[in-house]
Amino acid sequence: MKSWLIVGLMLIGLVGCGGKSVATIPAPETRTVDGFTITLTSQASAEVNTAQQWIVSIVDANGQPVSGADVFLDLLMSAMTMGQNKPLATDNGDGTYTADGLYSMGGDWQVAVHATINGADHIAVFEITVPE
């Protein structure tokens, strides 16, 4: 009888949690595009309507940091059109760029990093899942 009571309380506890997943800060991801290595690092866990900050680092084919690029992120939701969400990045002067923004709802997103270097646009796409 006691074991059934314990199992019942555990089930109530699980139902009470609502089954929500716990958000964690994603590990940095890297893509190589046109000889440039672009890394996206999230500074916070992906959460709905919560301030996000991303660090983009760009390295050329010789392993040298690339400063002076025009960089912005294009946040696109895979399931539906969410309007324009294109945070501009600030050049930190050391091959890294900082952008601030947010995800407006939970689900699967693409973060496309656009870097214009010497007049050419280079795009690296990263997949992010935002818990609902």
The structural domains of the chain, with segments of one domain joined by +, span 21-130
What 33-38 contacts at long range (C-beta under 8 Å, 24+ apart), as own/partner pairs, is 33/122, 33/123, 33/124, 34/120, 34/122, 35/60, 35/61, 36/60, 36/61, 36/66, 36/115, 36/117, 36/122, 38/113, 38/115, 38/122, 38/124
Q: What is the pLDDT along the chain (132 residues), one digit of tens a residue?
A: 444 434 343 433 434 444 444 557 778 999 999 999 999 998 878 888 888 999 999 999 999 999 999 999 999 987 777 667 889 999 999 999 999 998 888 999 899 999 999 999 999 999 988 898
**CATH classification of 21-130 is 3.40.50.300, yes or no?**
no
Give the per-residue pLDDT at 40.
96
